[in-house]
Structure 1
Amino acid sequence: MTAAAPNFDRYRRQIRFAPLGEAGQQRLAAASVLVVGCGALGSVAADLLVRAGVGRVRIVDRDFLEADNLHRQVLFAESDVAAQLPKAVAAAERLRTVNSAVTIEPVVADVSPANIASLAGDVDCLVDGTDNFATRYLLNDFAVQAGKPWVFGGVVGAEGQVLAIIPGETPCFACLMPEPPPAQLQPTCETAGVLGPAVGVVASLQAIEALKLLSGNRAAVNPRMTLLDLWTNNIRNVKVANSRTGDCRACARRDFAYLEARRGDATTTLCGRNSVQIAPAAETSVDLSELARKLQSAGRVTANPYLLRLEVETYRITVFADGRAIIAGTDDPATARTVHARYLGG
C-alpha cells in the first residue's frame, strides 16, 4: 500500500455501493494515479480522486495561479493567487487537508518526452487535465508504449468530451485523431469561453472512469466516447470501437513520434494567456534567490521558493526553479525569445 492505512469508515457510503465494495476500496487505497495538468479539469478530477481514497495522487502542472482561474479551478482561493503559488503546490496543500491518508505528490514541471517516464512510469493510470493536443499525443504515446490506461477529457464553452483509453483493448487517441486539427479550427477557452459547470461534469466523468480502472472494475469502463453540450442539454455516447485501425501510427505501427522527439529549447504559446513559455534545452535548476539578486536593478522582482517574477517594460516574466520561463505580454514566440535573452540570457 502506498499510503498510511486509511480509515475506511470515512468511505462507508462509497463502500456500500455494491460494484465497489470493500475490496474495491482496498484496491483504490493501493493504487496510484498521475493527474497531468491541475487547471480546470485536473483540479476537479484530483479532488474527487483524493476524496475517494486513491492511495497516491501525483499532480504535475507547469503553471502558476492567476485570478481568472478561480471561476472554474475549484481547489484554489484568492489567497493562493496572492501568494503566487504554482498550481501543483497550491493543489497539494489543499488536498492534504481533505484526506491525510492519501499521499499527494506535487510536481512543478512541463510534461515532456524527457520526463514523462519518471512522472508516469510508476502509476497505474493517467488522467488528462491538459489544454493542448501536443501533450495529449505525448500521453498517448507513453500510455500505448507502457500499456497504461489513461482518461482523455476536453472542454470548451459548454461542450466536452471524455474517453477512457486502454491500450490493446480500445482505440488510442491517435486512432481517433491521427493529426491535430489546424490551429485556426481549434476553439479555445479564450475564443469560445468556458463554463465552470461544464468543467465539473467532464472532470467528474473522467474521475469515475479512473475509479473503475483503479478499483478493478475494468468491465464497467465506458467503451464509448461521451460527447456533451450542457447548454443545449445534449449528451451522447458515441461508439468508437471501429476507429481502431491496423495502420494507426501509435498502437499499430508503434511509431511514437511525440514520445521519441528530441527535446530542444521549446517555445509554447499558452492558450488564452497572451503568454509564451520558453523551456530550456536540457534539464537544469535555477537558484531563484541568486537570480532575484541579479535582477533587482532591472525591474520589480518578487520571489518565493517555487518561482520568481520580474515586471519590466510591458512584460511580466515568471521563472521557475526548473529553468522554464513564461513571458506574459506577448503571444509572439520571437518577441518572447528576445525578452528572455535580454533579461535572462540565452
Structure 2
Amino acid sequence: MDERYSRQQKFKPIGQHGQRLLEKATVAVIGCGALGSAIAEMLVRAGIGHLHLVDRDVVEISNLQRQQLFCERQARETMPKVVAAEQRLREIRSDVQLTITIDHADGTHIEHLARQCDLLMDATDNFETRIMINDAAYKYRRPWVYGACVGSTGVVFPFVPGSSACLRCLLPSLPAVNETCDMAGIIGSAVQMTAALQCTEALKWLTGNKDALIRKVHHFDLWSHTRIDSGLTRIKRLNCPTCGDSPTFESLSPIRKTQIEMLCGQNTVQVIPGNSRTIDFDEAERTGRLANISVRRTPYFVEMHIKEYRMILFSNGRLLIHGLNDVHQGRKLYHQLFG
C-alpha cells in the first residue's frame, strides 16, 4: 500500500482498487478561481493521475481571501492563475501530470476536454460556460459535476448523461439576472464546502461507486444551517437540445463574434475577439508605444496602463480591463486602442 494514500485506501468504498483507478483518471477543472483551486488541490492530494486546468484570469489580491492555492507574491506579479496553481500543485505532488491552459473556456476547447477526460469539474462563474460544459458532456457521454456558491450558500449536482436530466432542462432559459459574489459577497467556508461536495461526487464516479452518487440537486446555506434537495426526474424535456430525442448541442457552434462582458466578482471587463480579429503581443507593444502608455511584456501576457485602467492582453487576443465596470466603456477603450 502506498503510504501517501494509506488512509484513503483504508476507506472501504475506495480501497486499493479504487486508488489505482484514480491514478489512471484524467479530469478537467474548468475555472481555477475559488472553486477550481480548492477542487484541484483536493484531487491532486487524492491521487488523480492527470489534471487539466483552464482559466482565463490572473491572480489579484482580492482572490486571496478564498482562493487557497495563491499567495501575495503571485498577486503582485499578476501571475496567471493556472501558472500559479501549477507551481503549488507540483510542490504538493511532484508526480502529478498537469496540463494548463491560459484562456477563456470556449465551446471548441471544452469539446476537446470532453473527448479526452473521464470527468469534467465545473468551477466557472457564469451559466453560459456551464451550458457549454453541459453540451460537450452530453455530446461525448461524459459526466460532469456542477457547483456554484455565493454568500454562504452552495449548490452541487453530478450530471450523468443517460441517467439524469441535463442542466438545460433545469434552466430552459438562462437567467437575465443572477446573484454573484460581486453583489452578495462570499465566505471561504461556502467555497470549501461546495468544492468538498463536488470532489466527493468525483471520487465516487472515478472509483466505480456510481450507485452512491447523489440523485437530487443539493443546496445548502451554512449561515442559516439549512439544506434543500430537489429532484430532476420530472423536469426532463424530450425536446431538449442537449439531452432530448434529437440533440443539437447548439452552444458548441465554432462561429464566434467579439464578446465584451463583465467578470463575476471583479471590477473587470473582458473582451474576447471574434474569429476574424486577433491582436498579438507585437501589435500590442507597438500600439502602446504609439499611444505613449506604459507597457510590460511577460511570457504570458502584455500589460498596459491607460488612465486608471490596467489592461492585460493574452496571446490569443483576449483582453482584460481591470478597474472598469462598464462594458460600453470597455468597448470604447478596446476600439480606441486596437481599431
TM-score (norm 2): 0.94
SS in 1 for 2:65: coil
Deviation at 1:290, TM superposition (A): 6.5
Cα distance in 2 for partners of 1:137, 1:265 equals: 19
Q: Do the aligned partners of residues 145 and 210 (structure 1) sit closer, same or farther apart at CA in structure 2, a change above 3 Å counting?
A: same
Q: Do the aligned partners of residues 283 and 42 (structure 1) sit closer, same or farther apart at CA in structure 2, a change above 3 Å counting?
A: farther
Deviation at 1:13, TM superposition (A): 0.5
- Aligned amino acid, residue 250 of structure 1: T
* 1:284–1:322 contact (8 Å) kept in structure 2: no
**Kindly, what percent of the aligned residue pairs are identical?**
38
Q: Trace 1:223-302 onto structure 2 (pairs within 5 A).
A: 223-252=215-244, 253-260=246-253, 262-282=255-275, 288=281, 291-292=284-285, 294-296=287-289, 298-302=292-296
Instruction: Name the Cα RMSD after superposition.
Output: 1.8
Cα distance in 2 for partners of 1:89, 1:112 equals: 19
The question of 1:196 aligning with 2:188 is answered yes
Q: Do the aligned partners of residues 303 and 227 (structure 1) sit closer, same or farther apart at CA in structure 2, a change above 3 Å counting?
A: same
Deviation at 1:316, TM superposition (A): 1.4
Deviation at 1:328, TM superposition (A): 2.3
SS in 2 for 1:181: coil
* 2:280–2:317 contact (8 Å) kept in structure 1: no
Cα distance in 2 for partners of 1:75, 1:188 equals: 22
Deviation at 1:221, TM superposition (A): 1.0
* 1:288–1:305 contact (8 Å) kept in structure 2: no
SS in 1 for 2:214: coil
- Aligned amino acid, residue 322 of structure 2: A
Cα distance in 1 for partners of 2:174, 2:329 equals: 26
Deviation at 1:284, TM superposition (A): 8.0
- The one-character-per-residue Cα deviations of 1:97-125 (angstroms, maximum 9, x if unpaired) are 11112101111010112322223320000
SS in 1 for 2:205: helix
Q: Trace 1:104-119 onto structure 2 (pairs within 5 A).
A: 104-119=98-113
Deviation at 1:189, TM superposition (A): 0.5
- Aligned amino acid, residue 185 of structure 2: G
The question of 1:74 aligning with 2:68 is answered yes
Aligned equivalent of 1:327: 321
- The one-character-per-residue Cα deviations of 1:282-301 (angstroms, maximum 9, x if unpaired) are 38876536633652462222
- The one-character-per-residue Cα deviations of 1:269-308 (angstroms, maximum 9, x if unpaired) are 2123232111122388765366336524622222321112
- The one-character-per-residue Cα deviations of 1:217-238 (angstroms, maximum 9, x if unpaired) are 1111111111100000112333
Cα distance in 1 for partners of 2:173, 2:182 equals: 22
Cα distance in 2 for partners of 1:129, 1:275 equals: 19
Q: In structure 2, which of residues 148, 155, 158 is the aligned counterpart of residue 154 of structure 1?
A: 148
- The one-character-per-residue Cα deviations of 1:165-206 (angstroms, maximum 9, x if unpaired) are 0011111101111111122xx111111111100000001100
Q: In structure 2, which of residues 38, 42, 46 is the aligned counterpart of residue 44 of structure 1?
A: 38
Cα distance in 2 for partners of 1:257, 1:268 equals: 21
SS in 2 for 1:35: strand
Cα distance in 2 for partners of 1:92, 1:286 equals: 27
Cα distance in 1 for partners of 2:52, 2:261 equals: 24
Q: How many residues align?
A: 337
* 2:303–2:312 contact (8 Å) kept in structure 1: yes
SS in 1 for 2:100: strand
